[in-house]
Amino acid sequence: MAERAIKLHPSWREPLSAEFKQPYMQALKGFLAAERAAGTPVFPPPAAWFRALDLTPREDVRVVILGQDPYHGAGQAHGLCFSVQPGVRLPPSLRNIYKELEADLGIPPARHGFLEAWASQGVLLLNAVLTVREGAAASHQGQGWERFTDAVIRLVAESPEPTVFMLWGAHAQKKAAFVTDVAQGRRHLVLKSAHPSPLAAHNGFFGSRPFSRANAFLVAHGRAPIDWALPPAA
């Protein structure tokens, strides 16, 4: 994982440069190389591993949505949590996100799952783990990605700009400690709920109104709200 070959917005590259030199990242590089050398399909493709950090500059982050790991089906993952490329069937979790968005703000579900329009507005769509083996959810957990994304969350939490953290499910909520420790509960808004997956959505995701609550917080703190309505996919 040569740092010079990583497609990463400059606003992230410098503050994260020390992470890429850490032994754990070198070990992660070796693990991913071994996976690929063995012919194991790994998603997303390497050029998209840091897509979330390339599309959303650090200084533009207004909302963080944290997923667990990428979709593990062929053609789905492209580097943004919960998002799929145009033309790809909507995954169940994203369908539930759209249902809550409509219930919360009256925005009809988009006919596609391409969320780059959110990313371009300052919504950091970050997975805790940035790669996965085909057909094997959570297969790259514990290899080092979590430590790297911890560093990303810390950087966002250190920002003086009030930011919303949407933490859906127990796995994502583990990251809340970094926000609380740095922000001391004063600067940022942490929204916790159940995960939007079909197995959990009825246990607190539906009815949590994260989109309107996020926008109300941003406006109250002098920041522009997010336009959650997705334009048609190109």
Q: Residues 69, 104, 150, 181: which is the catalytic one?
A: 69
How far, rounded to the nearest angstrom, does the alpha carbon of residue 127 sit from its chain's CA centroid?
4
DSSP string, the chain: --GGGS---HHHHHHHHHHHTSHHHHHHHHHHHHHHHTT--EES-GGGTTHHHHHS-GGG--EEEEESS---STTT--SSTT---TTSPPPHHHHHHHHHHHHHH-PPPPSS---HHHHTTTEEEEESS--EETTBTTTTTTSSHHHHHHHHHHHHHT-SS--EEEEESHHHHTTHHHHHHHHTTTS-EEEEE--SSTTTGGGTTTT--HHHHHHHHHHHTT-PPP--PPPPP-
How many other C-beta atoms can be found within 10 angstroms of the C-beta atom of residue 49? 24
Q: Does 69 participate in catalysis according to the annotation?
A: yes
Which residues sit opposite 123 in a β-bridge?
Answer: 63
Tell me the C-alpha distance between 171 and 179, whole Å. 15
Give catalytic residues, as residue numbers.
69
